[in-house]
Amino acid sequence: MTRRYDVFFSNESYRHSPPIAVADAHAYEARRLTNNSGLEWYLGLDMLPLDEYANTFVTGLNAFIFGMLVVIPFTFIPSTFVGWVVRERECKAKHLQLVSGLDYVLYWISTFLFDIMSYFVTIVGVFIIFAIFDREEYLGNGKAAAATILVFLLYGLAGTTGSYALSFAFDSHSTAQNVVMFVNFVVGFFCVVLVFFLTFNESTDKVGKALKWILRIHPAFCLGDAIINIASLSLIRVFTADGQNALSMDIVGWDLVYLAIEVPVFAAITLVLDHPARQLRQHQLTDKLFSGATAEDAAVLADADVAAEAAAIAAGERKDDVVQVQHLRKVYGGGTVAVKDLTFGVRRGEIFGLLGSNGAGKTSTMAILTGEFPPTRGTASVAGVDVVADPRAARRHIGFCPQFDAILELLTPVEHIELYAGLRGLSPAATKSVTELLLTLCELREYRTTLAGQLSGGNKRKLSVAIALVGGPEVVVLDEASAGMDPVSRRGLWTAIERISHQCSVVLTTHHLEEVEVLATRLTIMAEGEMKCLGTLPHLKSKFGTGFELSLRIDSSMQELVVQEEIKRRIPGAELHESRNQKLTFGLPPDALLSKVFEVVEDAKADKMLGITDYSVAQTSIEQVFLRVTGASMAASQGDE
């Protein structure tokens, strides 16, 4: 008897469907004939061995996919290198190292050696994985292993130096890292795959080969092209019957040639772009361009003390000054004038304060003094050395605390001090004693083993000050050193600055008026890039203040005019300086007797019609001097407009 079975064919598993269908039919018939629905029916499937052609094709295809997966993570590696380089420049850590005596060539050599050593660790891990998974396409024979090693080695060298050259195009480390990562991924993966398939089609073969010559300029493409070519060598042999080996020019040869050329080229570009002479020339060209388009400073009547300082320096009467600045002017790109005709000198052992609001030109002046960039016009010297003509020699005499913390977050305070002591050329024995001294002086002993990135904002500033003091420089430049500190820490820092001022000169910029009162031997108040006054604190109080001021608070603004007239009548010569929020401030005449003032004000307070609730008599403060000087400057500026 014949039975017919209809079987539905599934194309998803075409190799196995016919035997499975036959087995199911036999099982059904066996259960029917034996009347045993629980009869188990076993089926075994064994594929016939692939022929050499098919086996080579499958192996090559798997190797190709594996090669693409290998390339992807390696395209991300240069982005980590460029991120750290830009970050050090962004936070001024690199500039601080240069100020401390590091040569820029040594900076790049040390950075390169560290990055390459880190990269080698990655390479060793990759080859261990290749060995564990028996990747014969990379390690199967001597030529394949040699080609793989050379590709990874030269890619590390070219990718690292290339990332250094690209770092000068960025000012933000996060932007640099993201952009380099994206470009490397696109060029090192998508472009490689695109070109690979273009070359497999006769109609697009020429286009693919032409793109290869162009895209090989990028190290990531050379890596991806070489790794995929090695992995796909068996496929190439199947389709082209070509007997090439892994070291053939069309496999990895040209990629190795490009990478070998790129290493010295990228290194040279990096050193040229970072060469001090080139940077100086670039700044000078920019300054010339914008200073020519910007009108010179209008001739203004300078403060008598400022003019006297300039005349003394011009006449050579201040040759012993450890810092001298003459007719300093700085114009930034776009024509912004940051510093206008600054002239001053700092004596030995002096704490010279620059007081001013944001945008007054303080930080720009400090940047010129430390050689970060040159002035548009004028000169500046430290210990008799011109900071433009010989910045390295000038920096030997400078200790610098920048406005923002130029610290390395993965180092401890002890490691920071030891690093900069090494840059200053201190011996190991001296380094040990200096480290303990500075940790004590800056109140950092209990944080000696704490990573700098985990320190509070105030302790980071203390560490920055400690770095500035390493090596005992003749001039210590502190750019807003106490910013972000609590009052107790600020007092401790002031004590440290007072102690070191006996061995060196200190140039101090600050927003804190109290800091100037406590520390500054002499100070200048800056506004809109100009020095508005200059002198000791008592001299400025005497010159711009009125000696004593009377402050009254009244209970109603309706009584202001009445109170003003009454005070002026009872104290002849008193002048109203300020009226704000029911508070009146009068400047008292120089010949006013304080006993008489108190008597008059007590009588006025007793008069309920005047509504005086409280009063005080005090000397003119530095705050009042600052507001008076900068207020006059702003008024004059608005009047000119």
Q: What is the 3-state secondary structure (H, E, C) of 334-385?
A: CCCEEEEEEEEEECCCCEEEEEECCCCCHHHHHHHHCCCCCCCEEEEEECCE
Q: Using one digit for the tens of pLDDT, what is the confidence trace for 191-201?
A: 888 887 887 77
Please report the pLDDT score of residue 129 as a whole number. Answer: 87
SS3 504: coil
Amino acid at 629: V
- Residue 443 half-sphere exposure, CB side, CA atoms within 13 Å? 17
The contacts of residue 2 (CB under 8 Å, 6+ apart) are none
Give the range with max mean pLDDT: 246-260, 296-310, 326-340: 246-260
Domain ranges of the chain: 1-47, 52-274, 309-540, 546-619
- Average pLDDT of the chain is 82
- Specify the long-range contacts of residues 51-56, CB closer than 8 Å, at least 24 apart: 53/238, 56/234, 56/235, 56/237, 56/238
DSSP code string of 449-477? TS-GGGS-HHHHHHHHHHHHHTT--SEEE
User: Do 309-540 and 546-619 agree at the fold level?
Assistant: no
So what CATH class is 546-619? alpha beta
**Residue 524 to residue 84: CA distance in whole angstroms:** 38
This prediction has a pTM of: 0.76
Q: How confident is the model at residue 487 (pLDDT cuts 50, 70, 90)?
A: confident
- Identify any residues that bridge with 355 across adjacent strands, giving them in sequence order: 510, 525
Please report the pLDDT score of residue 295 as a whole number. Answer: 44
**Residue 302 to residue 279: CA distance in whole angstroms:** 34
DSSP code string of 548-568? EEEEEEES-GGGHHHHHHHHH
Pick the closest to residue 563 from 579, 549, 548 (CA basis).
579
Specify the pairing of strand 475-479 against strand 398-401: parallel
Pick the closest to residue 399 from 91, 100, 92 (CA basis).
100
Pick the closest to residue 57 from 234, 280, 233, 240 (CA basis).
234
Q: Using one digit for the tens of pLDDT, what is the confidence trace for 465-483?
A: 999 999 889 999 998 888 7
**Residue 475 to residue 382: CA distance in whole angstroms:** 8
Expressed in angstroms, the distance from the first to the final Cα of the chain is 115
What is the chain's length? Answer: 641
Pick the closest to residue 453 from 463, 443, 445 (CA basis).
463
Give the range with max mean pLDDT: 131-135, 459-463, 565-569, 612-616: 459-463
**Residue 322 to residue 345: CA distance in whole angstroms:** 8
So what CATH class is 309-540? alpha beta
Q: How confident is the model at residue 299 (pLDDT cuts 50, 70, 90)?
A: very low
